[in-house]
Chain A
Amino acid sequence: MFEIEIDGKLVNAEAGEKLIEVTDRVGISVPRFCYHEKLSVAANCRMCLVDVEGAPKPQPACSTPVSEGMKVSTQNEKAKSAQKSVMEFLLINHPLDCPICDQGGECELQDVAMSYGSNVSRFNEGKRVIADSNIGALIHTDMTRCIHCTRCVRFGTEIAGIMEMGGTGRGESLKIEPFLNEGIQSELSGNMIDVCPVGALTSKPFRYELRSWQMNSTESIARHDLVGSNINVQTYKGKVKRIVARSNDSVNETWISDRDRFSYEGLSHSNRLLKPQVKFDGTWKEVSWEVALDFCVKGLLRSAGESNSMNSLGVLASKTATLEEYYLLQKLVSELGCENIDYRLGVKDTKNTINLESNVKLSDLEKIDHALIVGSYTRLEQPMINHRLRKAALRGGTVDVINSMQFDFNLALNNENIIIPCEIANLLASTLKVVLESTNQDVPEELNKLTITKSATKIAKKLLSSDASVIVLGEHVINNDNAKNISNLVAMLAKNTNSSTLNLSKTGNSIAADIAGFFPGKDGLDVNSMLGKDMNAYIMFDVYPEYDFHNSSTAIKALSDKNSFIVSMNSFYNNNVADYSDVMLPISSYYETSGTHVNIEGEFQTFAASVKAPQESKPAWKVIKVLADLLDISGFNYSDSSNVLEEAKHNIKQGHRAEESINITDTNSVEVIWQPSPYSIDALLRHSDSLQETKIGQINKATMNSSTAKHLNLGDKDDYLGVPVVISSLVANNCVFINANKSTPSEEQA
């Protein structure tokens, strides 16, 4: 630490810092375009030129390292004249079409030009015009406005990890454009809109909608992944119009995924459920809330029958509810004496699935020196976590993978094991054996008969030799026949190699569901047992059966056939729901209610509602509260959702924990991994048209290798479980990896 002088003020600086970092810290404003604190320094725009005593030429603040005794002027004649020169150069070929530019009002060029530009142009030659390229459904380009700062190019190579935008041509014909005609495909592409200082890259869905100053902005939390990225929700007249990233270094830095940025489009989809409806004699009638709720209460009480027992009520919710919603719904039915509660609708066997804690901070994830990923394509499934892992890899960390299909990771893999799902547990067990043996510990009997493979030795050595390692367990194994073993093995491996763990199977807001106790009570039924029984009634919270249940047609059949009384709260209309339900209550979707998301660190992130729930739909926590009142249950007099949160925090429940037991079973049939495609994981996403149009949104394929295809008697024109077959050697033998943007498999198939 030493002192330097800037504009006559003495300020502290750290060796290695760049001048602009110091001026930013102490609040001295230096104009800039190419500099971005999360990207490498390019020093190409030259806007940040300042005068450094002793240097003959003005120096760029963004790339000039501080040195002891340095004297800098950001304001004197030399600095000002350099800055003004650059400003003029930037403007001569800029179209100055601010009146028709979406960036107007939030444009860095416009802002800086107000202070550094001249009000007359000396440029009387023809201006440059650049043809635009269509780069996909999310980003609109107006490349004539580009000032060649290369932020988007650097974002691509440095953050997104794929070079999609680049500079072609030289001199005046330097063009920033995508190299390929396929458009931009990164799952983080929308951040280019945020980093572009001008109106060259703007949001396509938002194009020509509004001026930035017309909108209100509220802070919120995105809920499509385990991170809970911090966002600003921009609204106008009660509608969400745009979502942009909000910086929070411990969560999402300054980035958000495209999923989080563009899913809001679904909020105004025509398929929203907007009015309470009740089924009379098999036909749906729109009714008032009073009538609908009265119908619910009567129906529920009637279903309890003579014995007045709620034993036969089932309560199911999707993975995307808020902590408050989970807590209240669970409290409501518990008070009624019902213990049949579950949110794990996509799990084949809740007794045989992953129960693993996550115990590493997101900001520490980028500092790990080794990661072992099991059963996940982190890049598309958890983009922001993948980003941290990628940063670790760029810092020299290594990444090993155990998957059943080879994926297009954007980080260098050290050792990629592509194996059939039933071998995953064996490989992990064999790895554990190596670990135990090489640390001179007792090897449990179950492991004795295992032969140690080369792969296991390699994986074990890496884990043992790393100081800060993490084992990442993903969604692909939730329905593995050895899911529980895998989960236990990971926990034991982590314990014996001093690694941390990340459980990526707790997607959406599942961690909140666990904390709120939204799982079967001691004598309660889990989701599959409920469906197998004759339940008299159900309360279904934002469930879309063809997507949410592991086995959709069995579930739909179970819900329709039996004569149960079914209350459904949904934010979107759904045909199956309409078929089996007796009441449909329209509830809030994302950004329409206050609530809390709990991320993978266990961080409670609470948000306010950004807009009101549309038409007659209502924030779900209020609906549950009123229902409780009508059922004469006390303890529900909350004035707002923060009271609910307080209470929930005092009643934190423990989810299921990993055990130290292994009992591996063998399979020998073709194994299927069913993974919804990244933009189909919840109802809001499925209704976001622009996202659905992207390459990622279109992913819908059952990938298998040629020998599996032969075995199943399939060709690449066929469908498998309703999903088009793609034959590729990237998949392990005897395995079908399905990435579907349609419903989950039906009974005959699964």
Chain B
Amino acid sequence: MNEVCFKNIDKKEPWSLSTYEASGGYSVWRKILKGELSPENIIDELKASGLRGRGGAGFPTGLKWSFMPRNSDIQKYVVCNSDEGEPGTCKDRDILRFNPHSVIEGMAIGGYVMKASVGYNYIRGEFMEPFYRFEAALKEAYKTGLLGKNISGSSVSFDLYTHLGAGAYICGEETALIESLEGKKGQPRFKPPFPANVGLYGKPTTVNNTESFASVPEILAKGGKWFHDLGVKNSGGCKLFSVTGHVKRPANFEVPMGIPFKDLLDMAGGIRDGRKLKAVIPGGSSTPVLTADEALAMNMDYDSIENAGSMLGAGSVIVMDDSTCMVKTLTRLAHFYYDESCGQCTPCREGTGWLYRILKRIMDGDGKSGDLDLLNNVGSNILGNTICALGDAAAMPVESFLRNFSEEFEYYIENGKSMVKDNV
């Protein structure tokens, strides 16, 4: 546990440069500055490590970096996605608070590999403490001569800037993030072209999640194989899981991929006393909900969660006990997507509102017999037809909630009230 991003979490002032360096921080970066590590080397190690993007889609990071037109001379950018807005996710916040230097080093390495001399860290608007921690770390790094132009006499240059968002979930979507960084309204771009070809200011850009960047220095220090072997097949290494909901000790846990969900639940202190596990959303609010049985039988890695019928996503485990009204929960989620849709593309702009209004009507006691079919149908009409994945994220929970907890929805429609009596 706590071997990579949370390595120093129990030390005094884990965020300081001295703590970071004392545990081997910036050793990889210094090697690069001395010319002892080639970009190809690094990409090979990353590929071997099995590191997959921690922002939700799980795309292999080494492969992603190799897509950048590394050998062309045009300006390129690396961007860190610290917008962390998905309900249930709070891991990037703690990385920024407790280990900001790992993000800086990871981004610098990325910049070196992809020949991008400028980086931006886009931090969620509400993250004040993480923002100040990261800014302070950045200052330290500059002061120590770890960043800038021709760093310590080498031919390597890397400048890093922090950007504070303004509180829109959609700005976590990488192309909306890029628009927002450019000073425009945060709305996703259609793809292709992909950011690796046309990104920030029209230049090749790679966006990675905070945790993805933060994992890179340790992987390169200890070797790709070391990281890979921490985890299981197709899910190399360890990962931060944010366990929230009806558990006794909600927290972030950095554990090896593939540990049983049961064990993770125990780490979080288990379900509240006198309550039973009812449902789990394993990867953040946009991933399908699982029943207690499905969850208890599953391990925490990409393949197992997929086999159980959901997705690992950003590793945001939302635990619900038997006091939870699933109608109310889905209504709340639907409201979130309805509220956060950027509005540019038709299915998401119109569909998320429609979903929410049907659910709200059911909650108000005005449900009708055809409503569940309609919900399912509207959801599937959004799915796959939008510019970005927010539409999918809004649609996916609907299907799984209705599939797994249909009797609760039917009860609500028939009786105008929740089936869960002691719902709190």
Asked if B185 CB lies within 8 Å of chain A CBs, one says yes
Asked if A540 CB lies within 8 Å of chain B CBs, one says no
Residues in A neighbouring B385, C-beta threshold 8 A: 46, 49, 57-58, 82, 85-86
Contact bitstring B349-391, A, C-beta under 8 A = 1, else 0: 1111110011001000000100000100000011011110000
Asked if B146 CB lies within 8 Å of chain A CBs, one says no
Question: Which of B168, B344, B351, B384 meets A174, CB within 8 Å?
Answer: B344
- Does B338 lie within 8 Å of A171, measured CB to CB? yes
Q: Which of B338, B345, B346 has the most CB of A within 10 A?
A: B346
Residues in B neighbouring A65, C-beta threshold 8 A: 192
A170-B168 contact given A45-B346, A148-B346, A148-B349, CB 8 Å threshold: yes
Which residues between 46 and 60 of chain A lie within 8 Å of chain B, taking CB atoms?
A: 46-47, 49, 56-58, 60
Asked if A271 CB lies within 8 Å of chain B CBs, one says no
Q: How far is the CA of A63 from the CA of B351 in the complex (A)?
A: 22
A92-B350 contact given A43-B387, A44-B387, A56-B384, CB 8 Å threshold: yes
- Does A90 lie within 8 Å of B170, measured CB to CB? no
Q: Which of B353, B381, B385 has the most CB of A within 10 A?
A: B385
Asked if A498 CB lies within 8 Å of chain B CBs, one says no
- Does A89 lie within 8 Å of B351, measured CB to CB? yes
Residues in A neighbouring B185, C-beta threshold 8 A: 167, 170
- Does B343 lie within 8 Å of A169, measured CB to CB? yes
Question: Which of B347, B352, B368 meets A171, CB within 8 Å?
Answer: B352
Residues in A neighbouring B343, C-beta threshold 8 A: 148, 167, 169-174
* B190 nearest in chain A by CB position: A43
* B186 nearest in chain A by CB position: A170
- Does A60 lie within 8 Å of B352, measured CB to CB? no
Residues in B neighbouring A150, C-beta threshold 8 A: 344
Shortest Cβ gap from A632 to chain B (Å): 72
Asked if A93 CB lies within 8 Å of chain B CBs, one says yes
- Does B341 lie within 8 Å of A171, measured CB to CB? yes
* B384 nearest in chain A by CB position: A57
A172-B190 contact given A44-B346, A167-B344, CB 8 Å threshold: no
Q: How far is the CA of A123 from the CA of B343 in the complex (A)?
A: 19
A85-B349 contact given A44-B387, A46-B386, A57-B385, CB 8 Å threshold: no
- Does A172 lie within 8 Å of B352, measured CB to CB? yes
Residues in B neighbouring A88, C-beta threshold 8 A: 381
Residues in B neighbouring A42, C-beta threshold 8 A: 190, 344
Shortest Cβ gap from A526 to chain B (Å): 56
Residues in A neighbouring B350, C-beta threshold 8 A: 89-90, 92-93, 172
Question: Which of A86, A124, A171 meets B346, CB within 8 Å?
Answer: A86
- Does A123 lie within 8 Å of B346, measured CB to CB? no
Asked if A640 CB lies within 8 Å of chain B CBs, one says no
Q: How far is the CA of A172 from the CA of B338 in the complex (A)?
A: 8
Residues in B neighbouring A47, C-beta threshold 8 A: 346
* A125 nearest in chain B by CB position: B357
Shortest Cβ gap from A13 to chain B (Å): 16
Shortest Cβ gap from A554 to chain B (Å): 57
* A128 nearest in chain B by CB position: B353
- Does A46 lie within 8 Å of B347, measured CB to CB? yes
Asked if A147 CB lies within 8 Å of chain B CBs, one says yes
Asked if A41 CB lies within 8 Å of chain B CBs, one says yes
Asked if B247 CB lies within 8 Å of chain A CBs, one says no
* A87 nearest in chain B by CB position: B346
Q: How far is the CA of A90 from the CA of B342 in the complex (A)?
A: 16
* A78 nearest in chain B by CB position: B384
Asked if B340 CB lies within 8 Å of chain A CBs, one says yes
Shortest Cβ gap from A55 to chain B (Å): 10
Shortest Cβ gap from B284 to chain A (Å): 20
Tell me the dominant secondary structure on chain A's binding face: loop
- Does B381 lie within 8 Å of A89, measured CB to CB? yes
Residues in B neighbouring A710, C-beta threshold 8 A: none
Residues in B neighbouring A43, C-beta threshold 8 A: 190, 345, 387
Residues in A neighbouring B399, C-beta threshold 8 A: none
* B337 nearest in chain A by CB position: A171
Which residues between 210 and 240 of chain A lie within 8 Å of chain B, taking CB atoms?
A: none
* A81 nearest in chain B by CB position: B381
Which residues between 162 and 213 of chain A lie within 8 Å of chain B, taking CB atoms?
A: 167, 169-174
Residues in A neighbouring B345, C-beta threshold 8 A: 43-46
Q: How far is the CA of A88 from the CA of B385 in the complex (A)?
A: 13
* B345 nearest in chain A by CB position: A44
Question: Which of B170, B353, B381 meets A85, CB within 8 Å?
Answer: B381
Q: How many residues of A contact B (CB 8 A)?
A: 37
A60-B190 contact given A171-B338, A174-B344, CB 8 Å threshold: yes
Q: Which of A65, A147, A172 has the most CB of B within 10 A?
A: A172
A41-B349 contact given A125-B357, A171-B341, A173-B343, CB 8 Å threshold: no
Q: How far is the CA of A487 from the CA of B81 in the complex (A)?
A: 60
Residues in B neighbouring A125, C-beta threshold 8 A: 354, 357-358, 361
Residues in A neighbouring B170, C-beta threshold 8 A: 170
Residues in A neighbouring B382, C-beta threshold 8 A: 85
Asked if A717 CB lies within 8 Å of chain B CBs, one says no
Question: Which of A56, A89, A174 meets B347, CB within 8 Å?
Answer: A89
Asked if A122 CB lies within 8 Å of chain B CBs, one says yes
Q: How far is the CA of A49 from the CA of B344 in the complex (A)?
A: 16
A171-B353 contact given A45-B345, A89-B381, CB 8 Å threshold: yes
Asked if B229 CB lies within 8 Å of chain A CBs, one says no
Asked if B339 CB lies within 8 Å of chain A CBs, one says yes
Residues in A neighbouring B361, C-beta threshold 8 A: 125
Residues in B neighbouring A89, C-beta threshold 8 A: 346-347, 349-351, 354, 381
* B339 nearest in chain A by CB position: A171
- Does A90 lie within 8 Å of B346, measured CB to CB? yes
Q: How far is the CA of A310 from the CA of B40 in the complex (A)?
A: 94
Residues in B neighbouring A167, C-beta threshold 8 A: 185, 343-344
Q: How far is the CA of A169 from the CA of B340 in the complex (A)?
A: 11
A170-B342 contact given A82-B385, A125-B357, CB 8 Å threshold: yes
Residues in A neighbouring B338, C-beta threshold 8 A: 171-172
Residues in A neighbouring B353, C-beta threshold 8 A: 93, 171-172
* A172 nearest in chain B by CB position: B353
Shortest Cβ gap from B333 to chain A (Å): 15
Which residues between 304 and 359 of chain B lie within 8 Å of chain A, taking CB atoms?
A: 338-347, 349-354, 357-358
Shortest Cβ gap from B337 to chain A (Å): 9
Q: How far is the CA of A41 from the CA of B192 in the complex (A)?
A: 12
- Does B342 lie within 8 Å of A171, measured CB to CB? yes
Residues in B neighbouring A90, C-beta threshold 8 A: 346, 350
* B350 nearest in chain A by CB position: A89
Residues in B neighbouring A86, C-beta threshold 8 A: 346-347, 385
Question: Which of B349, B368, B384 meets A172, CB within 8 Å?
Answer: B349
Which residues between 131 and 170 of chain A lie within 8 Å of chain B, taking CB atoms?
A: 147-148, 150, 167, 169-170
Shortest Cβ gap from A39 to chain B (Å): 14
Shortest Cβ gap from A328 to chain B (Å): 57
Q: Which of A47, A56, A147, A170 has the most CB of B within 10 A?
A: A170
* B351 nearest in chain A by CB position: A89
Residues in A neighbouring B342, C-beta threshold 8 A: 170-171, 174
* B342 nearest in chain A by CB position: A170
Residues in B neighbouring A169, C-beta threshold 8 A: 343
Q: How far is the CA of A148 from the CA of B381 in the complex (A)?
A: 19
Shortest Cβ gap from B121 to chain A (Å): 24
The 29 sampled A-B contact pairs (Cβ below 8 Å) are A42-B344, A46-B345, A46-B347, A49-B385, A57-B384, A82-B385, A85-B382, A86-B346, A86-B347, A86-B385, A89-B346, A89-B347, A89-B350, A123-B354, A125-B354, A148-B344, A150-B344, A167-B185, A167-B343, A170-B170, A170-B185, A170-B342, A170-B343, A171-B340, A171-B341, A171-B342, A172-B338, A172-B352, A172-B353
Task: Apart from A82-B385, A90-B350, A171-B349, list 6 A-B contacts with CB within 8 A.
Answer: A42-B344, A46-B345, A85-B347, A125-B361, A167-B344, A172-B343
Chain B residues with a Cβ under 8 A of chain A = 168, 170, 185, 190, 192, 338-347, 349-354, 357-358, 361, 368, 374, 381-382, 384-387
Chain A residues with a Cβ under 8 A of chain B = 41-47, 49, 56-58, 60, 63, 65, 82, 85-86, 88-90, 92-93, 122-126, 147-148, 150, 167, 169-174
